[in-house]
Amino acid sequence: MRRQLLEEFRTFGEIASWGADIGEFLFMDHKSRMKLFSSEKKRIQRMSAYERRELETDLQKELDRLKNLHKADIQSDIEGKIDKELEEKLRGALRKPEMVFFFKVWIPCWFLYGDYPAGCLDVQGW
């Protein structure tokens, strides 16, 4: 179900796809997340100064690109432009069971109790 949800988000454009990548990270269990952090930290520590600068430059370019996408999205909202195709896609997605579950169960559980819905990770294949 998690994969379906994230793939659905990825269809809504670059910003949503980036958000889905963050969501994938958030869906990880703590042990996997810490393992990922540890391996990335080791990888960066092994880099030369030049490689670190290149990584920093690439990350800054990616952040700038996302910032510009976000600005363009905000500007189109200010101007009242409506992307009809995206709006229809969103309406269709909101009828799908995984999206209904996400908005009506997962998000409230996370915000109210700071945890995933009970048993979801083990029982539902999350």
Instruction: Please compute the mean of the pLDDT values over residues 44-60 and round it to a whole number.
Output: 93
Q: Which residues span the domain enclosing 118?
A: 2-123
26-48 pLDDT per residue, tens: 777 778 888 888 998 999 999 99
- Count of domains in the chain? 1
Judged against a pLDDT cut of 50, whether residue 4 lies above it is answered with yes
CA-based angle 42:47:48, to the nearest 5? 150
pTM: 0.54
Judged against a pLDDT cut of 60, whether residue 23 lies above it is answered with yes
